[in-house]
Structure 1
């Protein structure tokens, strides 16, 4: 930090690229080994900031910097906020639309670390299949449509309390039967795996135990 009477200058280390550019340079899905390395580092970074009661609130490939050594660095804390205990009310205008979780898309302002974990799961799928998990949404309703096309439209039976969310309007959504993520561009080791199943598993786990999984060893 360089501080003068007129200016305040922050000097950061130079990092060569970000995950979005890296995936563009390696189309069709990343090798499973690289996905494992990047996900471990992302989860470890989230564990660090969440342990200090900070929500990033804008996870996307452009905000994950990649060094020439393969180090992943979590960047752009412009939307980050400190989270309080008990939960605090926040704005629903957070996170780039394609990586925004459905409860926030439906107007929830009561959220915590799960907000970042949804984004991490979207990035996980994007690295595997070489394309965004829920791409194309231009507004909240269209983005919800993209999500429900894969995961199915929730009800009170599958998601208790969902009908209380401000913008829960299932009658405006046309798809009620879930499909699955495309794995056509995924690495050979994960082709044929149902991406929706992988994602549903991922979003129900805690980031600390996950980093100790055998898959993240070595």
Structure 2
């Protein structure tokens, strides 16, 4: 069972529908007990970093997420969910994240239109350190749908499996062991997004 974490900051139903269409069993959860029982986790997210972390803290989900990831349970972060994986965000202040990945979340510069919204190319990282690849089958001809004003600056670039470019090169997808993240919305990214969600589901099952 792939459990989608509901903490009031995600487009849960569209993610669940996409996974169900691919034949994966899913449920929407919001308790630490359900996190412990799950086979894999998805942390979606739309909105502000601080608000999302505050919600995770208030629901007592931070430690269960960290503990399950430490035990090897696969987790996928989508959009804001990916950003929450990092150590620090500078979105309207300085805020601590889940620290599942090393690095910071920073804002696009004013020389581009913010937010970055719409379709953009995916660029596979040939230097990525992969055991099993969530980005399998993706080429530089593929596009995904983005909506974000902030992006990750990871300390380890070999944890980036897909790049994109919007005035600056930024991580479109990351992978470190059982931790996976997508800055774009796979559920809104047509066949490419479905392929990536399928890759995640097959890594779990």
- TM-score normalized by the length of structure 1: 0.29
Structure with greater helix share of residues: 1
Which structure has the greater CA radius of gyration?
1
- TM-score normalized by the length of structure 2: 0.30
Structure with greater strand share of residues: 2
